[in-house]
Amino acid sequence: MAFSIPALDTLIHELTGLPGIGEKTAQRLAFFILKSGKDYSERLRMALDAVQLQVHYCPQCFAFTDQELCRICSSVDRNKTQVCVVEEASDVIRIEAAGTFKGLYHVLQGTISPLDGVAPSDLRIHELVERIHDSQLDPVNPIREVILALDADLEGDTTSLYLARLLHPKNIKLTRIAHGVPFGSDIDYIDQRTLGRAMENRVEL
């Protein structure tokens, strides 16, 4: 549905490029931006500029940072012998919010997905292997445990399996975060696969 105002149509088109933003939402956002006037638009523009200029991948863990090395990689308080492997930089934030993990991270920037044409070489797997290899030359803080915290779906499982085979020859402990019934949920509403996994992964009390 075109507005016959090219600038507005272009903005709506660009906004529909964002994930989860459909045509109608994009229209609503564009109208809001227009109604808010120069002020909001200018702030959004400056924020886009700043992010593009300042934020880049951490060369060690591939999360986002505006420093040379990211806040977590450069911290002296973190346990450098544990590395948690996640799919996306946003996953780091979720795990940090949980507050129980005090090691370092490694962001794969995706998962192996043949259907979407994502091969292991498209991910930061090579960098992970190299990182583990390099750390084993460090006599004080070699990586001793790699914790896989990938999504509990087909792609996550495939990637976990691939990494497990790849890292098995290395002399490190390889673990995966627990899959099971989420906190606060009613068994009645849990799907079969989750319940199946929860049963398999039961722990002794």
Q: Could you list the residues that contact its own copies (CB under 8 A)?
A: 1, 3-8, 10-11, 13-15, 17-21, 25, 27-36, 38, 40-45, 47-55, 64-66, 71, 88-90, 93, 97, 109
Strand ranges (DSSP E) for 108-202? Answer: 145-148, 173-176
- Residue with Cβ nearer its own copies (5 or 178): 5
Let me know: does 55 contact 68? Beta carbons within 8 Å.
no
Beta carbon of residue 6, minimum distance to its own copies (angstroms, whole number)? 7
Q: What SS3 class is residue 167?
A: helix
Residues with Cβ within 8 Å of 107's Cβ and at least 6 positions away in sequence, in order, are: 61, 62, 63, 86, 87, 88, 89, 91, 92, 124
Beta carbon of residue 135, minimum distance to its own copies (angstroms, whole number)? 24
Beta carbon of residue 65, minimum distance to its own copies (angstroms, whole number)? 6
Beta carbon of residue 24, minimum distance to its own copies (angstroms, whole number)? 9
- Which residues lie across from 72 on neighbouring strands? none
- Residue with Cβ nearer its own copies (6 or 114): 6
The count of C-alpha atoms lying within 13 angstroms of the C-alpha of 152, restricted to the half-sphere facing its C-beta, is 14
- Residue with Cβ nearer its own copies (26 or 146): 26
- Residue with Cβ nearer its own copies (27 or 60): 27
